[in-house]
Amino acid sequence: MKKALLIVDVQNDFCPGGALAVKDGDKVVAVINSIMDRFDLVISSQDWHPADSIHFEKWPPHCIAGTQGADYHPELKKEKIGLRLFKGTANKDDGYSAFEATNVSLSAFLQEHQIRNLYVCGLATDYCVKASALDAVNEGLHTFVITDAVAAVNLQPGDDKKALQEMYTGGCILLESDEIS
Ligand code: VGL
Ligand code: ZN
């Protein structure tokens, strides 16, 4: 069975020093780089907001389209990325899920490539990873979340655990990077 890796929002602004830094956001990069070769397809998403997005009523401005903060973390291996998704691109749109990407339909792309198994990793566990993984389940995909390749915003302590629990009860399979078959 073909499998794809979805790398959610491994962008400068979510890493230490960025505008919406996630604790240990940069630590996921080495893990993700080490597993990319095991997948038939590698897909990335990027948060890609207009400067006047209503999203910034909730969050400090981050990942503004075309800025350095919206670039991938510099150490993320890019050669294997076969599809690049942009989301949150409209000014009225939070666009947390990679299935809300506006440049390509992720759902149609996965169908065309006969991908039934989707492995989700990246940033952040409690927002875009969770939204993407739960949408994947709704799309009928076998959805796996790689727990040592995600990091959370944790607005409230414990939001990371809560998000993993929600993904599990929502039908995702939680596993570690060394358990990928
Ligand atoms: C995200 C908060 C705001 C994410 C994006 O990528 O999880 N979180 N925008
Ligand atoms: Zn955002």
Q: Whose CA is nearest to atom 2 of ligand 1?
A: 127
pTM, two decimals, is: 0.98
**47, 53, 135, 153: which to mutate for ligand 1, most atoms within 8 A of CB?**
47
* 3-class secondary structure per residue, 142-172: EEEEEEEEEECCCCCCCHHHHHHHHHHHCCC
Contacts of 173 (CB under 8 A, 6+ apart): 142, 143, 144, 145
**44, 120, 123: which to mutate for ligand 1, most atoms within 8 A of CB?**
123
Is 128 touching ligand 1 by the criterion CB < 6 Å? yes
Is 26 touching ligand 1 by the criterion CB < 6 Å? no
Task: Indicate which residues carry an active-site annotation.
Answer: 9, 87, 128
For residue 8, report the phi and psi dihedrals to the nearest 5 degrees. -90, 120
Per-residue pLDDT tens digits for 105-131: 999 999 999 999 999 999 999 999 999
Per-residue pLDDT tens digits for 24-79: 999 999 999 999 999 999 999 999 999 999 999 999 999 999 999 999 999 999 99
Architecture of domain 3-179: 3-Layer(aba) Sandwich (3.40)
Per-residue pLDDT tens digits for 4-28: 999 999 999 999 999 999 999 999 9
Is the pLDDT confidence value at 181 over 90? no
If one counts every other C-beta atom within 10 angstroms of the C-beta of residue 96, the result is 22
